[in-house]
Amino acid sequence: MKTYIPEGYKSTLSVYDTQKAIGLMKRLFEDNFAGALNLMRVSAPLFVDGGSGINDNLNGYERPVDFEIAHSGIHCQVVQSLAKWKRLALKRYELYPGKGIYADMNAIRRDEDELDNLHSVYVDQWDWEKVILPENRNLDYLKSTVMDIVSALCDTQATMRALYPVLTALPEIDRRVSFVTSQELEDMWPELTPKQRENAYVKDHPTTFVIGIGAPLKSGKPHDGRSPDYDDWSLNGDIIVWNDVLGCAFELSSMGIRVNPESLDKQLTAAGCDDRRELYYHKLLLNGELPLSIGGGIGQSRMSMLMLGKAHIGEVQCSTWDAETVKTCEQAGVMLL
């Protein structure tokens, strides 16, 4: 998707009301979400030790922003997400099964493929992680957690619609979640790209969870890239809803049950990442020294776009944009923050 503004689009809320609504929406969702999953808020790092293996490798090709601390020589990286840091935090905080954490995560992803309506180099999301028991490492537990998150989204939207009646013109998020595997999507539409399959499916199933991201499908290609060292590729997925303003499938969350020593061992080899076995984080995990967990990220700006009916992510977050994007938005009367 290239940057474009839908014909006839006009922001439902003024810039002033947008800023107020974003702050309220975030507070409401945090309360609903933390209550549903039994999470407590914790402080999060902006950067981590570059040689620890703690930073998220995303798809494996994205370069983190790095720097060296003066006088100490410590090499640091700005986080790309907190996927691994959170699991270490669970160990440090000695949380019991069923209890977890969440944090405001701000990141820079300098190698974002394309800046458009949905993608920015600045990332803000709620990163969360929860300790689970061995018997929770199954699809039923994953699905139950997905439905809890969707309920929190819907409850937040209901309150926002009550406080801002103008938002009732936007479609409600469907509480009914359709679960489908990435292989089932490929079987249905082998001629389409993964994103095209998502659009085709989510249009008829407006709240969808796509299961199984990272492992090769029958075609030999994965549905999407996923680092081998946090999600178990058979027990993860994406929460995707239909965005009526943009007319497309709209990913809100990437999440999953995390790797245990066995699945990490398998996935590192499959991804050609055996060199990571010597990193601090990976050694702990392979030795069974980290708690079993489930976790993920929920996009704050994505949620703001959806609930406030915005056409461009720059309407709900401050970032830097290329000249073409700035010109397109200016011509359409869309204000980038």
pLDDT value at position 59? 62
Helices (H), 164-208: 182-188, 194-204
pLDDT at position 186, please? 96
87, 109, 226, 258: which is the annotated catalytic residue? 109
pLDDT of residue 60: 62
pLDDT of residue 111: 66
Separation in Å, CA 316 to CA 59, 117, 139, 148: 26, 11, 34, 25
Q: Quick check: 312 and 117 in contact, CB under 8 A? A: yes
CATH class of residue range 15-47+83-331: alpha beta
Catalytic status, residue 125: yes
- Does 109 qualify as catalytic in the annotation? yes
**pLDDT < 50 regions, the chain:** none
Query: What single-letter amino acid sits at 104?
Result: D
Domain boundaries, given as residue ranges, for the chain: 15-47+83-331
Q: Which of 80, 120, 254, 267 is catalytic?
A: 254
Reported as a single tens digit per residue, the pLDDT across 241-270 is 999 988 999 999 999 999 999 999 999 999
295 - beta bridge partners?
129, 256
Set 127, 186, 251, 315: catalytic member? 251
Instruction: Please tell me the predicted confidence (pLDDT) of residue 58.
Output: 66
Active site residue 238: yes
pLDDT at residue 23, rounded to an integer: 92
Question: CB neighbours of 9 closer than 8 A, spacing ≥ 6?
Answer: 245, 311, 332, 334
From the list 80, 81, 120, 125, the catalytic residue is 125
